[in-house]
Structure 1
Amino acid sequence: DRPWDGPHGATAPPFFAMVAQRHMLEYGTTEEQLAAVSEKNHRFANTNPTAQFHEKTFPREKLRRLPVVAPPLRLGDCSSMTDGAAAVVLVAEERVRAYTDTPAWIRGTGQYSHFHNLANAGSLTDWVGLRLAAREAFGRAGIGPADLDFAEVHDCFSISEIVEYEMFGWCPVG
């Protein structure tokens, strides 16, 4: 929350650094695991010719030498300032074959709003809104986390990707 947290320095990097510190304390998460997420994301960027860092490689050894932004997060754990977009084209089921032979189906959605700032965060590692929205989407679709063919998460910081996997149920918490 900008009026309360921002003036005290709790902008995005310090906030996610606190999430990472708490995750490390509660579950034993390591800087090596954070670097593994970053390394994987950069490796995927190498396969996309329009990615911002398409031509650059970031092996873990290099990531470990990058400057610390907010302990324990290093520069490679933080997303770069960039513009990006994603789009979904929705087509009526009876018309979809006019556009593709391999449609992707949206079977369920979930939505939950949770005000998450330091004053009322409760747990920094339990993202209630995301966890409940995922549960709602899976319930509406009649599937579980393991049944997905594709998912795209917001990886603004390496720790956010880890916590998101946990909240979606793709791995155990911790």
Structure 2
Amino acid sequence: MPNAYIVGAGQTPFGAFPSESYRTLFTEAFEAAVASVDGSLNAEDIDEAVVGTLGVGGRQLGLSAPAVTEHVGLHNIPCSRIENACAAGGFAVRQAVQAIESGMADVVLAGGVEVMTDMSGDTTKYWLGVSGETEWERLTGTTFSGVYAQMADAYLDQYDATPEDLSRVAVKNHANGAKNPKAHLGFSCSLEDATNAPTVADPLNLYHCCPTSDGAAAVLLASGDVVSEYTDERVRVAGVGAASERVGLADRDSYTGISASQEAGKTAYEMAGIEPDDLDFAEVHDCFAIAELLAYEDLGFCAPGEAATLLREGVTDPDGDLPVNTSGGLKSKGHPIGATGTGQMVEAFDQLTGSAGDRQLDDPTYGLTHNVGGSGGATVVHILEQEVAR
């Protein structure tokens, strides 16, 4: 079975871009990914394309993938759309890996795109809500901030954590995002700012919630049989794991953990042949601050109930033992749904190839990305390995 390698990755800035379309954003991300391969790869080399998008606002729901890939010169190849809510981009990468490891393709484009800021708040809430449980959550008026607030309430009640710990997540990720020129909310904030912000859904306040963003990201993957034709930077997809969970909270056994993340993480670690302690950094799905704390535990960074301690002790800071969300995460970098998972892969690729600029870590070998759909209905985890020392 051939290994899958990331040979290039690029993204647009995430933010609000009223003059852009989903096609122009995707084109910008694609061109950035191709440019990162030093000009040795072009559209004619690509055997297949997979595009992650929720299709917010009803954009080309029938043919989303061909609608954007035709604009970058991809014709007469398989082009598929993946829709798995906020995990669409991560699952697009997973499908690209499957195409390569099955031997059906040598070079695959995995992309993601979303335009979210050209609609009213009420309309946006509708399109976000379709990723949750319909009858007992969305149609009864529950928003995703309300769903994650329930999870936060349960966590704070069960463990030694406080609302201030939620604010610490925001402070850390904004500090990282302030160093990322592609971040939607690229500014730092104080603990006081993040603690005293207006309430959105108690105990979550404004600084505990990610923004809705426009943006696109693209990842180019190649088989081990051809990777040397494109790059000497051998960033291998060492492990992949994915799992599903009950979509609605009311049907779950626990509000203080996401079983899909736990199972996806276990599968990815086993495939990569490593343990959580071997990781050098991680990009986790922090759509709300509580989601990052849950990810620490679900992915084995610490035991249940110890996430707040990990955060307080600086373990997940850029100079800690396991930096988390060096990009700024969804909280600061932004959350254009379909592009979020592929955007996480861009940050991981940049870190592993020494291209992360002011955010660059000291010679990492293993990085993890964790992309969650809805409130945990679907999760995909990738582990990347830098095989060749720089």
| Common topology (TM > 0.5) | yes
SS at match of 2:271: helix
Cα distance in 2, alignment partners of residues 125 and 165 from structure 1: 12
SS at match of 2:236: coil
Query: What count of residue pairs does the alignment treat as equivalent?
Result: 173
Correspondence 1:31 to 2:163? yes
SS at match of 1:106: strand
- Runs of 4+ aligned residues of structure 1 deviating over 6 Å after TM superposition are none
Correspondence 1:76 to 2:231? no
Partner of 1:154: 285
- Once the two structures are aligned, what percentage of the paired residues are identical? 38
For residues 67-110 of structure 1, what are the alpha-carbon distances to aligned partners after superposition, in whole Å with 9 as ceiling and x for unaligned? 01011111000001112444332112243334333322111211
SS at match of 1:110: strand
CA-CA distance at 1:124 after TM superposition? 0.6
Q: Bigger shift: 1-10 or 27-36?
A: 1-10
Give the greater-gyration-radius structure (CA).
Answer: 2
SS at match of 1:140: helix
Structure 1 residue aligned with 2:192, among 54, 58, 61? 61
Cα distance in 2, alignment partners of residues 86 and 134 from structure 1: 23
Partner of 1:44: 176
Structure 2 residue aligned with 1:103, among 222, 234, 238? 234
Correspondence 1:8 to 2:131? no
Cα distance in 2, alignment partners of residues 25 and 164 from structure 1: 18
Q: Bigger shift: 8-17 or 34-43?
A: 8-17
Report the RMSD for the aligned CA atoms in angstroms.
1.6
Correspondence 1:131 to 2:262? yes
Partner of 1:21: 153
For residues 121-169 of structure 1, what are the alpha-carbon distances to aligned partners after superposition, in whole Å with 9 as ceiling and x for unaligned? 2211121111011111111221111212343211100000110111000
For residues 44-72 of structure 1, what are the alpha-carbon distances to aligned partners after superposition, in whole Å with 9 as ceiling and x for unaligned? 11001121122x32111111221010111
CA-CA distance at 1:173 after TM superposition? 1.3
* Structure 1: gaps spanning 5 or more residues: none
* Structure 2: gaps spanning 5 or more residues: 1-132, 306-390
SS at match of 1:88: strand
Amino acid in structure 2 at the alignment position of 1:104: V
- Are residues 150 and 95 of structure 1, via their aligned partners in 2, closer, same or farther at CA, if it must alter by over 3 Å? farther
Partner of 1:121: 252
- Are residues 84 and 155 of structure 1, via their aligned partners in 2, closer, same or farther at CA, if it must alter by over 3 Å? farther
Amino acid in structure 1 at the alignment position of 2:149: A
Q: TM-score, normalised by structure 2?
A: 0.42
Cα distance in 2, alignment partners of residues 140 and 163 from structure 1: 23
Partner of 1:140: 271
Higher strand share: 2
- Are residues 84 and 124 of structure 1, via their aligned partners in 2, closer, same or farther at CA, if it must alter by over 3 Å? farther
Cα distance in 2, alignment partners of residues 59 and 100 from structure 1: 41
Amino acid in structure 1 at the alignment position of 2:185: F
Cα distance in 2, alignment partners of residues 142 and 20 from structure 1: 33
Cα distance in 2, alignment partners of residues 25 and 155 from structure 1: 20
Amino acid in structure 2 at the alignment position of 1:69: V
